[in-house]
Amino acid sequence: MSLPQRIEGLRARIHRACEAAGRDPGTVELLPVSKKQPLALIREAADLGFSRFGENYVQEGADKATALPELSFALLGPLQRNKARPALQHFTEIQSLDRPELAERLRRLAEELGVIRPVWIQVDLWDEATKLGGCTGADLPTLIEALGNDARLPLRGLMAIPPPEDEGAFAQMAALRDRLQQDLGRSLRLSMGMSDDLEAAIAAGTDQIRIGTAFFGERTR
């Protein structure tokens, strides 16, 4: 199957899921995850109208951002403090902020570099942090406090990788987003759902789904 055919199939699924949930398909962003994918395929996706891509590894994403400066890349994978500087230099947003000390490091570096980088807090409500990273619900207020309403690191929303066997996980995230919006007095986006569960994520209210292999095809390396 070609890239355009895969994209068409995904868009059809998104449209059907939005129709079933009474949502406008235009409110759900399809974020292609280009981890381990070649530059040529990313360029082909760009020619088909995509300008934002997700990457899991700082060095790989930095290399792609350098090679493709007309596109933007979001960091989805865990971020170590010692890689915070290149992450801020090469990614247009960080979706995997998960601890106060990392927020403080990013704030110092963002000021030093003179950059503005929206951040998403990666949330873990299911004790998956040891495998995937993420901030627990109990630690979320401390992390938000560490961000300090810093204009250089505006809080864009919440990102999650719920366990596939937990049918109520998406609803938990939606409820958490609603509570935070009330507490903070501003809107927040939700990034959750992949190829196997995008319908459930859309029904729960996600604003962004992250798709890798089902978008690009099997990785070549």
Report if residue 179 sits inside a domain: yes
pLDDT digits (tens, 9 = 90+) for 71-126: 999 999 999 999 999 999 999 999 999 999 999 999 999 999 999 999 999 999 98
Give yes or no for residue 202 having a pLDDT over 80: yes
Residue 123 lies in a domain: yes
Total structural domains within the chain: 1
Q: For the packed helices 140-147 and 169-184, what is the interaxial angle rounded to 10 degrees?
A: 40
Q: d(Cα 53, Cα 39) in Å, to the nearest integer?
A: 12
Measured CA to CA, the distance from residue 61 to residue 35 in angstroms comes to: 8
Q: What is the mean pLDDT of residues 188-203?
A: 95
Q: Of 70, 115, 108, which Cα lies nearest the Cα of 93?
A: 115
Task: State the residue range of the domain holding 117.
Answer: 3-216
What CATH code is carried by the domain that includes residue 51?
3.20.20.10
Q: Would you state the pLDDT for residue 19?
A: 97
- Structure confidence at residue 112 (pLDDT): 97
- The secondary structure of 167-194 as a DSSP string is TTHHHHHHHHHHHHHHHHTS--EEE---
Q: Are 48 and 4 in contact (CB under 8 A)?
A: yes
Instruction: Return the number of other C-beta atoms located less than 10 Å from residue 26's C-beta.
Output: 8
d(CA 143, CA 170): 21
DSSP state of 29: E
Lowest mean pLDDT across 112-116, 151-155, 158-162, 206-210? 158-162
Rounded Cα gap, residues 85 and 77, in angstroms: 15
Considering only residues 152 and 163, tell me which one the structure prediction assigns the higher pLDDT: 152
Residue 84 lies in a domain: yes
Quick one: pLDDT at residue 221? 57
Q: Is position 201 within any domain?
A: yes
Residue 194 is predicted with a pLDDT of 94
Residue 113 lies in a domain: yes
Asked whether residue 221 is assigned to any structural domain, the reply reads no
Is 10 within the bounds of a domain?
Answer: yes
Q: Is it the case that residue 128 has pLDDT exceeding 80?
A: no
Mean pLDDT of 171-198: 95
Mean pLDDT of all residues in 43-52 = 98
Confidence of residue 162 (pLDDT cuts 50, 70, 90): confident
58-67 vs 39-47: helix crossing angle, rounded to 10: 60
Mean pLDDT of the chain: 94
